[in-house]
């Protein structure tokens, strides 16, 4: 498994947290959102999932992956 931490702008509340976690899950990964630091810890199997897909899934929800 590969683990990355991204900074995501635009998350402000529990709904955002859930939306991001759900989007990542649907893209094939696992996400843990920390609203305070705006960081999302993402775990995925790099044999099956491309990180670009996860990034797109988060951005499709209206959030900005900045790093």
Contact residues for Cu ion (CB under 5 A)?
Answer: 12-13, 15-16
- Give the H or E element holding residue 9: strand 2-9
Q: To the nearest whole angstrom, how small is the minimum distance from the Cβ of residue 67 to Cu ion?
A: 20
Q: To the nearest whole angstrom, how small is the minimum distance from the Cβ of residue 60 to Cu ion?
A: 15
- Measured CA to CA in angstroms, residue 64 lies from 29, 37, 67 at distances of 18, 14, 9
Q: Smaller CB distance to Cu ion: residue 11 or 27? A: 11
Q: Smaller CB distance to Cu ion: residue 16 or 42? A: 16
């Amino acid at each position: 498994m590969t683990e990355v931490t991204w900074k995501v702008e635009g998350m402000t509340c529990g709904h955002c947290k859930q939306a991001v976690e759900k989007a990542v899950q649907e893209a094939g990964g696992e996400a843990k959102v920390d609203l305070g630091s705006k960081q999302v810890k993402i775990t995925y199997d790099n044999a099956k999932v491309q990180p670009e897909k996860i990034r797109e899934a988060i951005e499709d929800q209206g959030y900005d992956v900045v790093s």
